[in-house]
Structure 1
């Protein structure tokens, strides 16, 4: 029996790339989205459709979903992973960074959810995995706007879970702690990046993105009648 289609945003690097590799190894056809399509193609994963798409653009998301579903049937799992982390103190941060942060981390998540939720609701089957951060629950230095964006994802996920549960659609929230990835590339504030890297060194460099991916795969492969509502994944040495 053919496995259902899995859609992953921000799949060109970090947690997104690791998730694409994990789900592909498990035999799922993939719809991979990122702004850098060359990076998606370089992954060389079988049975995969790569689409250049910006999660801020609803039209490009809808077009990607249509192409993926034409080839592999309905999206059964959305891994909402795309995000940026321009860490800074709110009083020092360029307001243009706020706009990019909120548009990608908040509106982008909703754009992707809305693109697949109505059909999942009609089919009474599907899973949405929103990748947030432990910073959505706890306060950290220089995480002012970023933490706010992730708190938004937490509350959005809780609301969506409540509305979709009667239709047997799962909404799962995954909150990684410090993870080895490329997200620091969006940290333009040198003081914030230095503190982030110092903290990472103190706790062993962070967890491997592959461990986050494997946890999401496990959660998805549970029976549809079972949901791991929230998962917080951190290095053992990350005490807070």
Structure 2
């Protein structure tokens, strides 16, 4: 019997590519998004589709119950749905910070709690949480987004050891910039902030969406991330973390620099801008 995967955030980018990658690997794929109309082509390709807003507890439970009712099994959950709230910490409102955590942290947590009883009962299963290099190293203007990804990483690190005795795996995938609509939405969220006059250099950097996606030379393709997610799902003994792309690997090495060295680098960047 084909294995079953539930994937969130499939309307575009990484989620859409991941749904196709699992489908090509002969999985039964439940591709979800807030607007089911965005999933028509995935349905035509052979995916099962469902409307799912990860901030809606009842909808999360209903979708998981539907998968289990129809398939009798759920082998992999891919928590991909998320967005980036950029901006200086002072300018990001508490409401905006709450929304960031609602989607990027509480959403995956809801899904994990919904699927784990089934996975533990079966004695197998895999949870793949799509994080970011921003979940390991925070930079100016990314405090809110990085905080949400740091939190997701912490939850996953704890979960990995909690569920291992039950035969369940928990893995993190950490891409850097990706050629997707992520930067466009992040810039849209940035434009909504009540900007102070103190952080012009930060805004100057983040107003250029090409730095973090789109045509950036450091961005990876969504299908590259999707292949890594699939690898994390099928590898018998997966690593705890899978960075994706050269920029991601280099950025993660920067964590080992002394804090003062990183701060000096940011100060130099600030002067250049």
Question: TM-score if structure 1 supplies the norm length?
Answer: 0.92
Q: 2:266 aligns to what?
A: none
Q: Secondary structure in 2 aligned to 1:207? A: coil
Q: Is residue 220 from structure 1 mapped to residue 233 from structure 2 by the alignment?
A: yes
Aligned to 1:231: 242
Q: 1:141 to 1:152 in 2, by over 3 A?
A: same
Residue 69 of structure 1: how far off its partner (Å): 2.0
Q: 1:45 deviation in Å? A: 4.6
Question: 1:237, 1:65 → 2: CA distance?
Answer: 32
Aligned partners of 1:4 and 1:76 also within 8 Å: yes
Whole-Å Cα distance in 1 between the matches of residues 120 and 209 of structure 2?
A: 40
Q: Distance in 1 between matches of 2:126 and 2:88?
A: 35
Question: What SS class does the counterpart of residue 179 from structure 1 fall into?
Answer: coil
Q: Which residue of 1 aligns with 2:181?
A: 182
The separation in 2 between residues aligned to 1:222 and 1:91, in whole angstroms, is 42
Over the aligned positions, Cα root-mean-square deviation in angstroms equals 2.0
Which residue of the partner structure matches residue 34 of structure 2? 35
Q: How far is the alpha carbon of 1:3 from its aligned partner? A: 1.1
Structure 2: gaps spanning 5 or more residues: 192-202, 252-273
Q: Which runs of structure 2 are paired with 1:144-155 in the superposition (5 Å)?
A: 144-155=143-154
Range with bigger deviation, 41-50 or 206-215: 41-50
CA displacement, residues 167-198 of structure 1 (integer Å, 9 cap, x when unaligned):
11000011111111111232222536424523
* Paired residue secondary structure (2:144): helix
Query: Which one has a larger percent strand, Structure 1 or Structure 2?
Result: 1
Structure 1: gaps spanning 5 or more residues: none
CA contact (8 A) 1:86 1:146 kept: yes
Could you tell me the TM-score, scaled by structure 2's length? 0.81
Relative to its length, the structure with more helix (as a share) is 2
Residue of 221, 224, 242 corresponding to 1:211: 224
Q: CA deviation at 1:141?
A: 2.5
CA contact (8 A) 2:176 2:247 kept: no
